[in-house]
């Protein structure tokens, strides 16, 4: 298991971001900088970049976590420190609506529209647009796009943004697609994504990889650390 002391995150506190242990961010939170979010996590031991999803959702201080806190689905880890008025995700939904060319900002419409947009862009080999739509959907917790991203993962020329989005949106349905990408580039990133998904199936998969003789020693060792 990853310890918060073993993860470094970047915090925008001035013109030059500060890098602090995740454990410190968890303890202090955004304080007076209400919209500050931890970003760019990396391993303190190896320097390896990690998916943003390794930051527990309650402590991300992003659109999704703020909405879950505002609606009582998550406990506020820093009561009163970053209180938000209105819809915490409205700004992000409005941005995505502009990208999609629609005036509708309700989650159901955006879910369907962004999924269709990803499919169209992938069919046209417009991978930059695929990544832009996928990352925005991930930041807003729009899960309808997950099956499409799973289908695209084997062919995407730059798999890391798709892997990271699947880690954020989670769900056991993403685990087989991530396993299918093991053995090539971004294999370690896939293992971290499976770890971040955190479902019982994800944990069983890590244990299977840790004990599977068919996997390279490097992946087995990492899976053993994460399981």
User: Residues 99, 186: one domain?
Assistant: yes
Angle at 63 between CA 88 and CA 92, to 5 degrees: 80
With contact defined as beta carbons under 8 Å apart, do 202 and 194 qualify? yes
Higher-scoring residue by pLDDT: 215, 74: 215
User: Residues 62, 160: one domain?
Assistant: no
User: Residues 152, 59: one domain?
Assistant: no
> Beta strand pairing status for 18-21 and 7-11?
antiparallel
Pairwise CA distance, residues 149 & 135, whole Å? 11
Angle at 145 between CA 87 and CA 106, to 5 degrees: 30
Reported as a pLDDT band with limits 50, 70 and 90, residue 180 is very high
Number of separate domains in the chain: 2
Is residue 69 pLDDT above 50, yes or no?
yes
Is residue 80 pLDDT above 70, yes or no?
no
Residue 84 within a domain = no
User: Residues 178, 104: one domain?
Assistant: yes
User: Residues 131, 180: one domain?
Assistant: yes
Buried-exposed string 39-49: b where 16+ CB fall within 10 A, e elsewhere: eebbbbeeeee
Nearest-10 crossing angle of helices 217-226, 200-211: 140
Pairwise CA distance, residues 39 & 19, whole Å? 9
Average the pLDDT over 78-96 and give the result: 68
User: Residues 205, 129: one domain?
Assistant: yes
Q: Can you give the residue range of the structural domain that contains 31?
A: 4-70
User: Residues 124, 64: one domain?
Assistant: no
Average of per-residue pLDDT values in the chain: 88
Residue 82 within a domain = no
pLDDT at 30: 84
Report CA Rg, the chain.
Answer: 18
User: Residues 120, 184: one domain?
Assistant: yes
pLDDT in tens, 126-173: 999 999 998 888 888 889 999 999 999 999 999 999 999 999 997 899
Residue 34 within a domain = yes
User: Residues 113, 212: one domain?
Assistant: yes
Residue 165 within a domain = yes
Last residue of a domain, one of 70, 105, 125: 70
User: Residues 37, 137: one domain?
Assistant: no
Of 117, 175, 160, 159, nearest to 142 by C-alpha is: 117
Residue 85 within a domain = no
Residue 78 within a domain = no
User: Residues 139, 200: one domain?
Assistant: yes
User: Residues 107, 175: one domain?
Assistant: yes
Residue 81 within a domain = no
pLDDT at 85: 47
Residue 29 within a domain = yes
CA distances from 83 to 23, 66, 137, 141 (A): 21, 9, 24, 20
Last residue of a domain, one of 35, 70, 105: 70
């Amino acid at each position: 298991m990853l310890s918060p002391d073993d993860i470094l995150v970047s915090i925008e506190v001035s013109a030059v971001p500060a890098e602090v242990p995740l454990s410190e961010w968890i303890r202090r939170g955004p304080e007076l900088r209400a919209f500050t979010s931890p970003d760019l996590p990396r391993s303190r031991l190896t320097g390896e970049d990690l998916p943003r999803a390794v930051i527990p959702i309650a402590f991300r201080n992003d659109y999704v976590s703020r909405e879950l806190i505002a609606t009582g689905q998550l406990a506020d880890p820093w009561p009163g420190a970053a209180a938000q008025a209105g819809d915490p995700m409205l700004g992000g939904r409005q941005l995505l609506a502009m990208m999609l060319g629609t005036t509708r900002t309700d989650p159901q419409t955006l879910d369907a529209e962004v999924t269709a947009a990803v499919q169209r862009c992938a069919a046209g080999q417009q991978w930059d647009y695929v990544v832009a739509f996928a990352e925005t959907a991930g930041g807003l917790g729009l899960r309808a796009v997950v099956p499409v991203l799973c289908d695209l993962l084997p062919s995407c020329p730059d798999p890391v943004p798709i892997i990271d989005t699947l880690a954020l949106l989670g769900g056991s349905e993403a685990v087989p697609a991530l396993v299918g990408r093991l053995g090539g580039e971004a294999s370690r990133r896939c293992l971290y994504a499976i770890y971040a998904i955190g479902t019982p199936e994800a944990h069983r998969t890590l244990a299977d990889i840790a004990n599977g003789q068919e996997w390279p020693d490097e992946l087995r060792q990492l899976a053993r650390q994460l399981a």
